[in-house]
């Protein structure tokens, strides 16, 4: 009976140590998850700050001021633009004959109704 009691106590000690190990591992994993969540939150905040900074840097007024300050461009005047009906006519398209294309002549089928898989139909049938 003492051997049975000793084995039960040993089994309880092993089970308790196993449960403690699982609890310790889960605590470590929870801390790791919390640390990653904090890093994720910081990265999202950094992304939001960068997007806000980009929106500030990308404003047309700021770009216009930089262009005026650093580029030697003349300002646009309304007389520069004209209506579309005053555009010149489009030149006619030049179509080259197929005879000038040696590769196209090799590719072009000699008889469009014939294929290589079936023989030509005979007149008697």
pLDDT tens digits along 91-102? 777 665 556 667
Global model pTM greater than 0.85: no
Distance CA 52, CA 58 (A): 10
Distance CA 7, CA 16 (A): 14
> Would you say residue 112 has pLDDT above 60?
no
Phi-psi region of 106 (alpha: psi -120 to 50; beta: other; left: phi over 0): alpha
Residue 110: which pLDDT band, with cuts at 50, 70 and 90? low
Distance CA 19, CA 47 (A): 41
Distance CA 52, CA 57 (A): 9
- Determine the pLDDT at residue 117: 60
> Which ranges in the chain belong to alpha helices (H)?
2-57, 60-70, 102-107
More confident: 43 or 117: 43
63-101: pLDDT as tens digits? 888 988 888 888 778 878 888 888 888 877 766 555 666
Identify the DSSP state of 79. Answer: G
Residue 119: which pLDDT band, with cuts at 50, 70 and 90? low
24-41: pLDDT as tens digits? 999 999 999 999 999 999
Distance CA 11, CA 15 (A): 6
- Compute the residue count for the chain: 125
Residue 43, both tokens: 């990265």
């Amino acid at each position: 009976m003492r051997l049975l009691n000793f084995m039960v106590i040993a089994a309880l000690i092993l089970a308790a140590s196993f449960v403690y190990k699982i609890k310790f591992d889960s605590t470590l994993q929870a801390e790791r998850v919390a640390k990653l969540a904090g890093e994720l939150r910081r990265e999202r905040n950094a992304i939001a700050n960068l997007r806000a900074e980009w929106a500030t840097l990308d404003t047309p007024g700021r770009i216009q001021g930089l262009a005026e300050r650093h580029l030697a461009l003349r300002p646009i005047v309304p007389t520069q633009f004209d209506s579309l009906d005053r555009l010149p006519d489009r030149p006619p398209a030049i179509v080259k004959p197929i005879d000038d294309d040696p590769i196209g002549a090799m590719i072009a089928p000699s008889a469009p109704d014939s294929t290589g898989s079936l023989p030509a139909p005979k007149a008697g049938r």
